């Protein structure tokens, strides 16, 4: 059995969570104050995911802020950043516009600002 200590990032409280692992699987989760923390810990020890934020250059050189609309696997972040860096867009862009469909894990790349 091994133990993994995490800080929950689901809300600003930041509970310290301890996960006991057996054969690569979580068997006990303690320290979370709510069910969101338990779910976060289960996902974090098996397949950690994050929302990616970055910018995409428009054809006139303006940088448009973007993010994935869902968390993606941390193991795929490098590939996603590569795709973002190769992406350009045409203005105007509105908040929520999809700039790249299905960039990874069924997540789209969306604008987070107007430009
Ligand atoms: S376990 Fe719940 S209360 Fe604690 S940081 Fe996570 S979301 Fe917030």
60 and 93 share one domain? yes
In this predicted structure, the answer to whether residue 1 has a pLDDT above a threshold of 90 is no
Residue entry with tokens 């050189």? 61
Q: What tokens appear for 22 in the block?
A: 């057996």
Per-residue pLDDT band for 105 (boundaries 50, 70, 90) equals: confident
Distance between Cα 91 and ligand 1 center (Å) = 39
Token pair 């779910």 in the structure block, residue: 39
What strand order describes the sheet that includes 2-7? Answer: 2-7, 16-22, 25-30
Q: Supply the range of the domain harboring residue 18.
A: 2-46
* Other CB atoms within 10 Å distance of the CB of residue 31: 16
- Same-domain status, 9 and 57: no
11 lines ligand 1 (CB under 6 A): yes
What is the Å distance from ligand 1's center to 44 Cα?
Answer: 14
Q: Are residues 28 and 60 in the same domain?
A: no
Question: Mean pLDDT throughout 65-89?
Answer: 96
Query: What would the pLDDT profile of 20-69 be if each residue is shown by its tens digit?
Result: 999 989 999 999 999 999 999 999 999 999 999 999 999 999 999 999 99
CB distance 91 to ligand 1 below 6 Å: no
The CATH number of whichever domain residue 21 belongs to comes to 2.20.25
Q: Ligand 1 atom 6: the closest Cα is on which residue?
A: 37
41 lines ligand 1 (CB under 6 A): no
Q: How far apart are CA 62 and CA 58, in angstroms?
A: 5
- Residue recorded with tokens 């609309």: 69
Q: Are residues 40 and 75 part of one domain?
A: no
Number of domains in the chain: 2
Q: Is the dihedral of CA 19, 75, 78, 67 positive or negative?
A: negative
pTM of the entire predicted model: 0.80
Which band of pLDDT confidence, cut at 50, 70 and 90, is reported for residue 73? very high
Q: What is the CATH number of the domain that holds 80?
A: 3.10.530.10
């Amino acid at each position: 059995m091994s133990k993994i200590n995490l800080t929950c990032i689901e809300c600003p409280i930041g509970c310290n969570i301890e996960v006991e692992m057996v054969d690569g699987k979580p068997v006990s989760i303690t320290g979370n104050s709510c069910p969101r923390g338990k779910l976060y810990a289960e996902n974090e020890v098996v397949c950690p995911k994050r929302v990616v934020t970055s910018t995409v250059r428009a054809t006139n050189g303006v940088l448009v802020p973007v993010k994935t609309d869902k968390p993606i696997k941390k193991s795929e972040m490098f590939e996603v950043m590569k795709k973002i860096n190769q992406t350009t867009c045409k203005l105007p862009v509105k908040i929520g516009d999809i700039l790249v469909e299905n960039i990874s894990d069924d997540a789209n790349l969306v604008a987070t600002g107007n430009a």
